[in-house]
């Protein structure tokens, strides 16, 4: 059974709706939870793909969080092996940084629902095309990546030009959170650390608005997310043989 490696930074930011899609393919998911095991050193060569999730820390925190250096080295190795990589939010920033692009503070954090517009390349991209010309997508970030010089810019928003990129044929960085569902959004709204970030946007964004926007947009985003994530998983492929139900592994 083939395995996909997943880097998780905090319990509040799991795979979300991507998890059952991976399981349906028959892949074994190997989680490295750096909050629980910051000294983990996974054997990158053993995996067919890498997914790097989000988290409240930033690329600039490498001195305080050495595991970020471990992750950057793992991303470099996956790119060298030409195996699929997907970075989400912090994961996208780490991917961009590994490719030589800076990560900067967002002038105004994006928290909540925002329209995201595909570039021409994004509308025709093998993975991102299910978003169409535009889509309402959930966001929660105070930093953003610059698109690496060697990458293709795939999507933008009104308040953050750098929303998605592709490097080569199978490495993707998404600033936004396509993996969200309603229970996960509620989990973030109940998290004191996340609420503190939201409070900084008082007057322009709040829990009530996010909940109302979630009711309007969540079903549409999840349908588009399934298309995008399944396209990415097509790059990973399917296990050649499947004897048992897919399972999780933790380190």
In this structure, the strands spanning 134-145 and 28-33 are unpaired
Name the H helices within 99-250. 120-123, 182-189, 192-199, 207-236
CA–CA distances in Å: residue 185 to residues 139, 150, 160, 181: 10, 34, 21, 6
Tell me if 119 sits within 8 A of 162, measured CB to CB: no
pLDDT tens sequence for the chain (251 residues): 569 999 999 999 999 999 999 999 999 999 999 999 999 999 999 999 999 999 999 999 999 999 999 999 999 999 999 999 999 999 999 999 999 999 999 989 999 999 999 999 999 999 999 999 999 999 999 999 999 999 999 999 999 999 999 999 999 999 999 999 999 999 999 999 999 999 999 888 999 999 999 999 999 999 999 999 999 999 998 775 544 445 555 55
Does residue 89 carry a catalytic annotation? yes
| Both tokens assigned to 244 | 């048992």
pLDDT digit string (tens) for 28-47?
999 999 999 999 999 999 99
| Both tokens assigned to 80 | 């060298």
pLDDT digit string (tens) for 37-81?
999 999 999 999 999 999 999 999 999 999 999 999 999 999 999
* CA 184 to chain CA mean position, Å: 14
CA–CA distances in Å: residue 100 to residues 72, 103, 154: 11, 10, 18
Closest by Cα among 90, 34, 10 to 58: 90
Active-site residue (options: 9, 67, 144, 177): 177
What are the sequence ranges of the domains in the chain? 3-244
DSSP 81: H
Active-site residue (options: 9, 89, 141, 144): 89
Please state which of the four CATH numbers 3.30.230.10, 1.10.1740.10, 3.40.50.880, 3.40.1410.10 is assigned to the domain occupying 3-244: 3.40.50.880
pTM: 0.94
Closest by Cα among 217, 222, 219 to 112: 217
The residue written with tokens 């009104």 in the block is 158
Average pLDDT, rounded, for the chain: 94
Return the half-sphere exposure (C-beta side, CA atoms, 13 A cut-off) of residue 142.
13
Alpha-carbon gap, residue 103 to 144, rounded angstroms: 6
Does residue 177 carry a catalytic annotation? yes
- Find the farthest-apart pair of alpha carbons in the chain and give their distance in angstroms, rounded: 54
Alpha-carbon gap, residue 171 to 74, rounded angstroms: 13
């Amino acid at each position: 059974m083939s395995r996909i490696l997943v880097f998780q930074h905090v319990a509040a930011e799991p795979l979300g709706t991507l998890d059952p899609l991976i399981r349906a393919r028959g892949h074994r998911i190997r989680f490295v939870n750096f909050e629980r095991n910051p000294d983990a050193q996974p054997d990158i060569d053993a995996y067919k793909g890498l997914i790097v999730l989000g988290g409240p820390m930033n690329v600039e925190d490498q001195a305080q969080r050495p595991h970020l250096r471990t992750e950057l080295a793992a991303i470099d190795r996956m790119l060298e092996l030409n195996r699929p990589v997907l970075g989400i939010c912090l994961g996208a920033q780490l991917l961009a940084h590994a490719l030589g692009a800076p990560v900067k503070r967002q002038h105004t954090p994006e928290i909540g629902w925002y329209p995201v517009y595909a570039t021409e390349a994004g509308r025709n991209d093998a993975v991102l095309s299910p978003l169409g010309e535009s889509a309402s997508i959930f966001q929660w970030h105070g930093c953003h990546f610059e698109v690496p010089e060697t990458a293709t810019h795939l999507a933008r928003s009104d308040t953050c030009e750098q929303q998605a990129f592709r490097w080569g044929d199978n490495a993707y960085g998404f600033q936004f959170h396509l993996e969200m569902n309603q229970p996960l959004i509620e989990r973030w709204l109940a998290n004191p650390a996340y609420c503190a970030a939201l409070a900084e946007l008082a007057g322009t964004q709040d829990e009530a608005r996010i909940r109302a926007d979630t009711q309007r947009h969540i079903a549409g985003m999840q349908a588009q997310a399934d298309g995008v994530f399944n396209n990415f998983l097509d790059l990973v492929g399917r296990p050649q043989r499947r004897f048992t139900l897919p399972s999780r592994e933790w380190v």
